[in-house]
Amino acid sequence: MGTYIITGGTGFIGSYIARDLIREGDLVILYDSSPNRNERSLKAALSEVEQGKPIIIKGDVLDLEHLMRTIKEYGADVIIHMAYILARASSISPSLAIKVNCVGTNNIFEAIRLLGLKTKLVWASSCTVFGSPKKHKEEYLPNDAPHYPQDIYGASKSFIEHMAEYYFQQYGIDSIGLRFSPVYGAGMQEGITASLVRELIENAAIGKPGNVPFGDEVVNWLYVEDAARLLLLAAKVPKTETRVFSVSGDLRSVKDAADYVRKLIPDANLSLQPGYWGLCFKYDTSLLEKEIGFKPRFSMEEGIKEIVNTIRNQTKNKVG
């Protein structure tokens, strides 16, 4: 039995991580600045019994003293850091995004350093560090491809990658960063991916029309249960040679996704809007497979079906 602190732990991905750890018998502490706001995410991921098992601490990653008290009180074999301002909100409030994403993450590293712990840190980077595919010559980007972030969110993640390398070289803090492509699933509440999932899948499941963005794009679909499984693999793997890894899901077009939704829900009213997301979605993940042993299990179709069934579960109207 291990002790895990998950920052942003009541959020979308954090809820699924908590579920998997609880089922393994681990002690789970969810450190979150707004735990009540994320009730939908917890209910989507955890059963009623499981929802009462994690310890929920209201706390901000910008509050270093409170963060250190929490870590010291409960101990932590692993910290999984998921507390960030996402891309759309980062563009609206760049100064807050820089504080939370950069200073907040630095507080995690500093807490481990100042407390003299051997705690492992696993944190979420993003494919947005690479910027537009127009900036790269390779079709499939190598793990060490140069960064050309196009917004504050991507720039903050790029900065954290350098931060992680610094704390490893200077203080030996063992951390793994994971460059996630769009993670999707039931229980999403905010962000660009949440908007896509709502218009493409959730609206169809409840009989509402969907106005689907990025209709010309080929997206790297990473289902949330695969993302959570990868975070736990990274938490348990021995020290890796590589500090940050690119992550790939199922590379499929938005049109493919819409066709499958219509197959599941024949009366789905979907309107695909022309346009591209404008991010790199093709990565060489050989280092991830070699050092962590991860390959996604969920196809795009399986992920979409899981979302539809989760939404329809209340009416017992599952799809086959």
Q: How many domains would you assign to the chain? A: 2
Residues 6+ apart with CB under 8 A from 97: 85, 89, 90, 152, 153, 156
- The pLDDT assigned to 316 comes to 62
- The pLDDT assigned to 125 comes to 98
pTM greater than 0.75: yes
Question: Does 263 lie in the same domain as 171?
Answer: no
Output the tens digit of pLDDT for each of the chain's 320 residues.
Answer: 899 999 999 999 999 999 999 999 999 999 999 877 667 788 878 888 888 899 999 999 999 999 999 999 998 999 999 999 988 889 999 999 999 999 999 999 999 999 999 999 999 999 999 999 999 999 999 999 999 999 999 999 999 999 999 999 999 999 999 999 999 998 887 888 999 999 999 999 999 999 999 999 999 999 999 999 999 999 999 999 999 999 999 999 999 999 999 999 999 999 999 999 999 999 999 999 999 999 999 999 999 999 999 888 755 666 66
Q: Tell me the C-alpha distance between 205 and 280, whole Å.
A: 29
Residue 91 one-letter amino acid: S
Pick the closest to residue 13 from 175, 126, 144, 156 (CA basis): 126
Angle at 232 between CA 47 and CA 168, to 5 degrees: 145
- The pLDDT assigned to 40 comes to 74
Question: Does 170 lie in the same domain as 69?
Answer: yes
Question: Does 166 lie in the same domain as 54?
Answer: yes
Question: Does 104 lie in the same domain as 132?
Answer: yes
Instruction: Decide: 270 and 252 in contact? Cβ < 8 Å.
Output: no
Q: What is the CATH number of the domain that holds 110?
A: 3.40.50.720
Neighbour-count burial for 89-98, b at 16+ CB within 10 Å, e otherwise = bbeeebeebb
- The pLDDT assigned to 51 comes to 85
Question: Does 160 lie in the same domain as 60?
Answer: yes
- 208 domain residue, yes or no: yes
Question: Does 150 lie in the same domain as 95?
Answer: yes
- The pLDDT assigned to 260 comes to 98
- 263 domain residue, yes or no: yes
- 121 domain residue, yes or no: yes
- 319 domain residue, yes or no: no
- The pLDDT assigned to 38 comes to 63
- The pLDDT assigned to 3 comes to 96
Question: Does 173 lie in the same domain as 201?
Answer: no
- 169 domain residue, yes or no: yes
- 320 domain residue, yes or no: no
- 205 domain residue, yes or no: yes
- The pLDDT assigned to 314 comes to 58
Structure tokens belonging to residue 266 = 């024949």
Residue 183 forms beta bridges with which residues? Answer: 222
Question: Does 94 lie in the same domain as 231?
Answer: yes
Question: Does 204 lie in the same domain as 103?
Answer: no
- The pLDDT assigned to 185 comes to 93
- 231 domain residue, yes or no: yes
Question: Does 84 lie in the same domain as 31?
Answer: yes
Structure tokens belonging to residue 278 = 């404008």
- The pLDDT assigned to 168 comes to 98
Domain of residue 85, residue span: 3-184+221-249+282-297
Please provide residue 179's backbone torsions phi and psi, each rounded to the nearest 5 degrees: -80, 95
Question: Does 198 lie in the same domain as 142?
Answer: no
Question: Does 114 lie in the same domain as 212?
Answer: no
